[in-house]
Structure 1
Amino acid sequence: MSHLFLFLWAASVGAQEPARVGQIEIQRIDVFDTAHPDENRPPYTWVNKLHILTRESVVRREILLEPGDTFDPYLVENSERNLRAYPFIKSAQIEPWDRPDGTVGLMVRVQDTWTTDISPSIGFAAGEQKFGMLLRERNFLGRGKTLETNYNDGFGTVSRGFSYRDPRVWGSRLSARLYHSNSSQGYDTEVSLALPVYSLLTPYSTGVQGRHGTTVDPIYKSGEEVARIREEYRGYEAFVGHPLTATSRRAVRSTYGYAFVENVFGSSVTGSSFALPDDRRLSMIKWTVDYEESDYFSDNLINKFELIEDINLGWQAQARLAYASRDLGALRNEVLPRLTVRKGQRLGPRQFLLEGGGVYFIYGDSQWRHVVASAYGSYYRKSFLIPKNTLVIHGEIANGLRLQRDSQLMLGGNAGLRGYRFNAFTGTRSLLFNAESRFYAIEDWLHIVSIAPILFWDAGYVWSEGEQRKARDLKHNVGLGLRLGFTRSATVPVVRMDLSYAPNKEGTVGGGWVFSAGIHHTFDFADNALRRVSRD
């Protein structure tokens, strides 16, 4: 209904004086909506009593319109998306309505999620297992702030961490983050303070951040660890940006910044045939131009069960040029360009495609190195076999040339290929395909969880530089699984459990059968093989 109102308003805006925003009303709904008889009883009412409702001021500050402003339907939609982007908001709708005084009133309805998480975390995949304990509050005292402490033991490391995030410092547009962790491989500390882009019409953005830590990075070959590299890293950055041109539908932004990045490498149980990477120190000035179009649609049964997701089909492109200079403290003079692009398109009333790609390289001392190029796409088809069935087909390709020695393209049980060991395949060129058919069988069972059986197929491989690609090299697996969507939880939106079989024995465990479980979907939208490739 709200979208019909917005359409009619936009169609008639040229024929009359623009309407003004009048009263803005906020309706906050608890984790369980007591207006529904099924939820207005224990144990749901007990949960509501334990939960601190999001404060009205937190909701109101995300509305990009104020009483007296000219009514703009695009800012209304942008405000809805800003609210839905918060993990503590389950749903958000803004309904415009005509007031007797000729102004446009706004009724803002938001429903909270359960944001307190005290739970163990368990993960299994390809012969690896992980156990941890998490204590997290993602809406501290109803103010939208996040506090977290955690402990994890598995996948080769033991770690303890703490983090704090405030998306609106003292009610301003400033966001802040503090993170620290200690592990058996080192430590990591990060601090940031920024004024981010919250709308295409954001007048300016700025920020500073710093990071310092040590770690031990394993190097893999055929799924086996062949070397370890001890690394100390430091990074500091400051930036400021402004729009070159901006409307409520598209914007071009220019950002200027300075960054210092240093990586110092030392041996730690290093294989005899492995040479350590060269130390790196970049002291660089950066210029970035972003182009973004706003072409959103909202739908569910995509990745988050019944929760509404906002999908942007418009062009999103970024071109960055960085120059590192010895005069600024860098080890060498270098140019570091980066280009990324993403676009979506509707292919029918129930299907769409998201596609993109990027290229990054370093040029210095009259030579090219660390060249990384990738392209990817994800196709979604709702009501594929039955009304509540979504088909997802994902594909990506990546290529690296003269990569730094601590960078590897990797696929395996932790990156796209469920039936194989972690980091089973490494090299400089990768190809990956994934297909999942998700059957959303049970919706909001007991008002807590939705259940979706799935069928899947994965195929991919990683080749080394100079090695000829052959179709028979592709490794693949098939399987079935279960997805659980916790509809009232901000912390665990999706839990997955998969059983896969890989007929290709190379890189497998347990005779080809693998059970894996974890949080979130198995493959990301893009660059699954590039998680260990730096593109700073």
Structure 2
Amino acid sequence: MPHLHPSCRLLLCLLLVGLLLLLAQEGMAQKKPVTKPDTTIVSDTTRRFEDRVMQNLRELSERKTIMGKLLSAILDFTPETEPLLNLDAELIEREYERHNYKVVRNIEVISLDAFGYSIQDTARTPRNWLEKTGNFFHAKTKKSLIRNKLLFESNNILEPLALVESERLLRQTDYILDARIIVDDRTTTDDSLDVIVVTKDVFSLGGSGSFTPSSGSGRITLRELNFLGLGHQPEVTYRFNKQDTPRPWEFAGRYSIENIGRSYITADIAYIDQNYYREKSAFLHRDFYATNTRYAGAAGISQIEERILLPPANADTIPTYGKLGYTRHDAWLGRAFKFKTYNLGYEPRGRLIIGARIINTNYNTVPTENYQSNQLYLGSIGYSVRKYFKDRYLFGFGRTEDIPTGSIVSVTAGYENGTLYSRRYLGASVAFARYRTNQGYFYANVSYGSFIRDSNWEQGVMELQSLYFTRLYENGNWKLRHFLQTRATFGINRNPEELLTINNNDGLRGFNSEFLRGSKRVTLSYEANLYTPFSFLGFKLATVAFADVAWLSAGNKTSPLKNKPYTALGFGLRFRNEYLSFSTIQILFNFYPRLPANEDIRGFKVYPVSRPYYDFTDFRFERPGVAEFR
């Protein structure tokens, strides 16, 4: 057998494991959902106290006083009707199998305003002045926009998966809180049917901000997720009175138009003018948004100027930076193929996908000699199996959420034609996820990519990631879920200025150090979310406790696990109103037992943040690309 480079053997192993996982995914028999047992997480005393408090507030709200009217307006004592969740996507598909290939006669779209309406009970209407006022200032989603999201049309044959996938696409739209697609059994015949589509909006106008009294600096962000109900999404951010920067103000603006016509093509425009980062970009893109999507692609241009952190010299005590400026043209196209099936009632979820991409990068300012203008040609081939489950209380506070499961394996090869030198690229990735209602969710991913120049493998990166969350433990209106995430990034023969950090979402929440950097990183994170029954003005409350551990090292032969880790411990509160477009509001109290030398970082700090620390990874085929080192 000819001798293989270790990296080649690694790629072959990844592909073999991925193919085995995909075969197992396709052949695995579906099990019936298991009913979740009740688990006591709060004492009876706490439960009785909660009941007494809610009963007293309910009685006060019924009084014809100013306080009673105020409580009646801001508090909702009606128990929520929880939808049927934890359903296997394949079981949902089987419900609609008897409707496959029937003709769709009529499509009735019911678009509900953000406040006072229920997708479970369409007869419910706003009951107080607060809900009515909110709806007055809200532009309801146009029915034509909802119809453009559907994968089926009137007077056409209903394809398999069209109902299930259309409901998921509506629910994953930023300006729609939830969606249900119902076949009207009263009018269904052997060869035709009528469909009812019910959607509920979020209040699309939102924003955020911050202010520091001691310095007078702050930030204001305004966004509209559904301008005039047309699906346009403008967003602007303005920072003022910034300290220790060349200029006291910064501006960022973005504008998106999603799903132009029925093409599922989205247009994005961005203009960012910050002290150390400037961007002008425009893109048109179309993803593999549904399982049965055949074509995807994108084209665009971007001009970027930024400041990057350079590796310090031995005697340096002050961070050093370099300027990087470039113009990039980017285009790619992908095509999905499905295998033939002789079962007309079954739509296989596996897809073979190929893609090609061209990236032309011209540098006008470089901080080191490791940057060169180039044309990068990439090609990928992969196989993906996608399915979705429904659940709640994952990243939301009660809304229906779609959990992606399945498997994907892909191989990417390419060639970089540079002004200084040319080289090849080779990469591979394997990922899978499983979800069981009585066990929870588990996701794992392994990927590797590297450039090859004159038989030397350079700028390589290996990534390993796993995410596990438990099932939802419930006792009355109290709900508890645990999260556990591990991540590892190993740089192989990276350039000196390419370094990793453990700042914020890259490692330790709320942590920020400009000196603590390396080429290998391992992180372990645990979080417990306790969802309470308390609500004020529609904002639901959850408590969070977490622990983060991060290891960091430099050099190709140094293991980060041999070094002493850095840790972060914390707890805090989390607020969210699912009817508003505001991000989840978190106030975390963090403690860092160990701090790096020569760093002005408080060992204990309050950390307000709106970005989630965890997120799902979908199993849709992405554009061919180089493995990112970040």
Distance 1:385 1:91 in 2: 22
1:366 aligns with 455
Give the match for residue 94 of structure 2: 10
Which of residues 366, 370, 373 is equivalent to 1:278?
370
Task: Report the equivalent of 1:313.
Answer: 405
Matches of 1:471 and 1:481 in 2, distance apart? 32
Q: What does residue 194 of structure 1 align with?
A: 285
Change (3 A) 1:470 1:207: closer
Q: How does 1:58-457 map to 2 (within 5 A)?
A: 58-72=145-159, 74-100=161-187, 102=189, 103-121=192-210, 131-152=218-239, 158-170=249-261, 172-219=263-310, 226-245=319-338, 249-266=349-366, 276-325=368-417, 330-384=419-473, 388-413=479-504, 415-418=506-509, 420-423=511-514, 425-442=516-533, 445-446=535-536, 448-457=538-547
In 2, the alpha carbon distance for the partners of 1:36 and 1:130 equals: 48
2:88/2:389 contact within 8 Å kept: no
Structure of larger gyration radius: 2
Q: Tell me which amino acid in the other structure corresponds to 1:96.
A: V
The answer to whether 1:24 aligns with 2:107 is yes
Q: Is the counterpart of residue 33 in structure 1 residue 116 in structure 2? A: yes
* 8 Å contact kept, 1:411–1:423: no
SS of the equivalent of 1:452 reads: strand
Cα gap change, 1:421 to 1:40, in 2 (>3 Å) = same
| Distance 1:393-1:167 versus aligned 2 partners, 3 A rule | same
Shift of 1:219: 3.7
> For 2:257 and 2:504, how far apart are their aligned partners in 1?
34
The answer to whether the 8 Å contact 1:419/1:501 transfers is no
Per the TM alignment, residue 478 of structure 1 is displaced from its structure 2 partner at its CA by: 1.7
Tell me the CA shift for residue 41 of structure 1. Answer: 1.4
Contact 1:145 1:165 in 2 (8 A): yes
For 2:494, what is the secondary structure of its paired residue? coil
Gaps of 5+ in 2: 1-83, 340-346, 618-626
When the two structures are aligned, how many residues end up with a matched partner? 514
Deviations 1:186-211 (A, max 9, x none): 42011111333222222322321111
2:40 matched residue in structure 1: none
Alpha carbons of 1:266 and 1:18: their partners in 2 closer, same or farther (altered >3 Å)? closer
Query: What residue in structure 2 maps to residue 271 of structure 1?
Result: none
| CA spacing shift, 1:367–1:101, aligned 2, 3 Å | closer
Q: 1:405 to 1:211 in 2, by over 3 A?
A: farther
In structure 2, relative to structure 1, the CA distance for the partners of 1:524 and 1:12 (3 Å cut) is: closer
Preserved contact between residue 551 and residue 565 of structure 2 (Cα < 8 Å): yes
Letter in structure 1 aligned against 2:113:
D
What code does the residue aligned with 1:405 have?
P
Which is worse superposed, 27-36 or 80-89?
27-36
Task: Identify the match of residue 55 of structure 1 among 136, 142, 145.
Answer: 142
Letter in 1 for 2:544: I
Distance apart, 1:471 and its partner CA: 5.2
Query: What is the one-letter code of the residue matched to 2:180?
Result: Q
Instruction: Give 1:506's aligned amino acid.
Output: P
Residue 62 of structure 1 and its aligned partner are, at CA, apart by 0.9
Unaligned segments of structure 1, at least 5 residues: 268-275, 527-532
**Deviation larger for 333-342 or 180-189:** 333-342
Cα distance in 1, alignment partners of residues 521 and 607 from structure 2: 23
State the distance in 1 between where 2:524 and 2:229 align. 42
Helix, strand or coil: the match of 2:154?
A: coil
CA contact (8 A) 1:277 1:404 kept: no
Once the two structures are aligned, what percentage of the paired residues are identical? 17
Q: Higher strand proportion, which one?
A: 1
1:44–1:321 CA distance, 2 compared to 1 (3 A): same
Amino acid at match of 1:255: G
Instruction: State the secondary structure of the residue aligned to 1:361.
Output: strand
- Give the secondary structure class of the aligned counterpart of 1:24: strand
Deviations 1:357-406 (A, max 9, x none): 21121112332111110101111113348561010011111100121233
> What CA distance in whole angstroms lies between the structure 2 residues aligned with 1:242 and 1:61?
22
Q: Which residue of 1 aligns with 2:6?
A: none
Q: CA deviation at 1:477?
A: 2.3
Contact 2:180/2:199 (<8 A) preserved: yes
Query: How far is the alpha carbon of 1:226 from its aligned partner?
Result: 2.0
Query: How much has 1:6 moved relative to structure 2?
Result: 8.6
**Is the 2:90–2:387 contact (alpha carbons within 8 Å) kept by the matching residues of 1?**
no
* Higher mean C-alpha deviation, range 470-479 or range 387-396: 470-479
Confirm or deny: 8 A CA contact 1:419 1:512 kept in the other structure.
no
Which string of whole-angstrom CA distances, capped at 9 and with x for unpartnered residues, describes residues 344-367 of structure 1?
112552511111121121112332
Structure 1 residues 414 and 244 mapped into 2: Cα distance closer, same or farther (>3 Å)?
closer
Counterpart of 1:272? none
Worse-superposed segment, 20-29 or 243-252:
243-252
Q: Distance in 1 between matches of 2:333 and 2:295?
A: 7
Alpha-carbon shift at residue 131 of structure 1 (Å): 3.0
Could you list the per-position Cα deviations for residues 277-299 of structure 1 after superposition, in whole angstroms to 9, with x for gaps in the alignment? Answer: 52222202221223221221011
- Counterpart-to-counterpart distance in 2, 1:294 and 1:350: 20
For residues 206-230 of structure 1, the C-alpha deviation after alignment (integer angstroms, 9 at most, x for no partner) is 3211111211123476997521010
TM-score (normalizing by structure 1): 0.86
RMSD after superposition: 3.3
Secondary structure of 2:398 counterpart: coil
CA contact under 8 A between 2:89 and 2:387: conserved in structure 1?
no
1:496–1:521 Cα contact (<8 Å) kept: no
Higher deviation after alignment, 334-343 or 258-267: 258-267
Higher mean C-alpha displacement, 374-383 vs 517-526: 517-526
Matching residue's letter, 2:94: A
Cα gap change, 1:228 to 1:369, in 2 (>3 Å)? same
Q: Which has the higher contact order (CA 8 A, sep 6+)?
A: 2
- Residues in 2 aligned to 1:211 and 1:257: alpha-carbon distance in whole angstroms: 16
Query: Aligned pair in 2 of structure 1 residues 423, 522: CA closer, same or farther (>3 Å)?
Result: farther
